Every structure is written in C-alpha cells, then in structure tokens.
Structure 1
C-alpha cells in the first residue's frame, strides 16, 4: 500500500504503486533522504525517513512512515509506504 499524498486514497498492488510513484521519479532534480528512525519487533519494522526533492519547480518534502516485513529469505519489503507520514 502506498499513500500518494495528504488526503489522497491509498494505492494498492505493485502496478498501482509503480504508477503512483512516477511523478516522484520523473521530475529532474535532487532527491535527498535523511537518517532513518527504525523500530523493529521481530520480522516487522516501522521506519521514519525525512526526505526532500529539489527541482526547478521548487521543493517538495516530507517525513515518511513505512512498515516493513522481513521475508523468509531475510530481505526487507515495504508493506505500507506513506511519504507524508499522515
């Protein structure tokens, strides 16, 4: 699940999330991420990451809240991604 912005409906599924991420990734500019805050409980984790995108159109920033799960192979995958933490 991905929340594309404040007040917007969540997007579900790999293809829907890919579409929702296109505006973030398509704009030329600089993408910065700050130090993460990680709270882990077994195979689940909640991560908070401040981020900023700076382009010729201005600056867009937020503090994401993400829920991740460790797979049986040991990889971490996003379960919920909310770039604005709302």
Structure 2
C-alpha cells in the first residue's frame, strides 16, 4: 500500500469543480490514496458521491476510503473491473 500522497476530500473546498473532478486531477498529479469525507452530507448524497469517485478511480490503482466523518473507515483497493 503506497500512502505517499494522501488526499482528504472537502466538498466545500472543491467548490463548483466538484469532488470527482478534483479527485481526477489529484490522481493525475500523483495522489495514491483518496479519503472521501463529507460529514454534513446525507446518506444518499454521500453514497452518490462515493459512486462518482469510485468511477473516477476505476482502473487507476489508487486506494479510496470512506471518510472518518461518516463514522467508519475501511480500505477499498480500486482495480479494473473484469
């Protein structure tokens, strides 16, 4: 597991660009792990955001994690779908 460049997302700081586009740019810049965090989000919004980020990370080899702000933490290696 390569934790050399760890991104913690912030929905507010991503602004109009949005979290998925920010994550995509960060991965292009060398991020190796992404933590999805939005403690103010509803469950439905957080899940939708997670699905969008997972799609961006698909095939990149970058690890992602739901944020500590949601009360749980676990790793999901992103691997290409077969």
TM-score by length of 1: 0.25
Higher helix share: 2
Q: Which is strand-richer, 1 or 2?
A: 1
TM-score, structure 2 as length reference: 0.26
